[in-house]
Amino acid sequence: MLLAIDIGNTQTVIGLFSDRDSRVEEAPAAYERRSSRCEQGLLDHWRIATKAERTADEHALVVQEFLGFHGYSFDDEIDGIVISSVVPRALAAFREMVERYFGFRPVVLEPGVRTGMAVLTDNPREVGADRIANAVATIDVFGGPAVVIDFGTATTYDAVSARGELLGCAIAPGIDISLDALYQRADALRRIELAEPRNVIGRNTVDALQAGAVFGFAGQVDGITDRMCDEIGGSPTVIATGGLAPLIAPHTRCIEHLEPWLTLHGLRLVWEKNQ
């Protein structure tokens, strides 16, 4: 079995893949499920907070607990691990964990690793590994051209050409950190649950903040995506992924597909290309 590990600035997502086709939960019915390949063989998945100070031993304990809780063997059943990371300290600890506890080297999505993806930015080395994984998965499932929106610590918009090239991106502050900045600068506003707003016209502070966050970012998505599609040309497919995608996507007009496991699928493809 294969472990795919995506280390983000805020959260780390771990997926367990097998060769057999095993499906996880479906996205909302409003989204077309053309992309079942993202879920083929995905036996289980876990999401933990990214903490750069965690040691290799602590990571091993967490992974062992996840696997053991679901009846999988830490020692005998994992024969491959692939990692993407935007947090260098956390990557170093995970790399050490794999080599020490599993006895082999992980495939790390970094310069020199085969991806099959041409990156046409000014400095390809500065492109986040998760963004490359998203683009690889997008070409495999949808083809190009496409726009991939990843709702993470930052909201990233990646442009993929019809020939399967990563052309570049737009990066905006993520929803959570935008709200954190608002709370820090506005003493009268308190933290709220980021949830589905009842109306766009809020009649209390909580409703007003929820409406501003959800509808405001939905408008941002449509605006940036429209401009990006004009630059790419043709009729790009628009895909959303990331933890907050299910909250924002239903309020946009441009997002066509909601793919929670796009990054993990891309990592799996990268692992296969490097065997």
pLDDT, one tens digit per residue, over 218-246 is: 999 999 999 999 999 989 999 999 989 99
Cis upstream peptide for 260 (omega within 30°): no
Active-site positions read 130
Three-point CA angle 236, 242, 245, nearest 5°: 75
User: b vs e for 117-135, b when ≥16 Cβ sit within 10 Å of the residue's Cβ?
Assistant: bebeeeeeeebbbbbbbbb
Render pLDDT for 202-218 as a digit per residue (tens, 0 to 9): 889 888 988 998 999 99
Residues of the chain predicted below pLDDT 50: 21-29, 31-35
Q: Considering the entire predicted model, what is its pTM?
A: 0.89
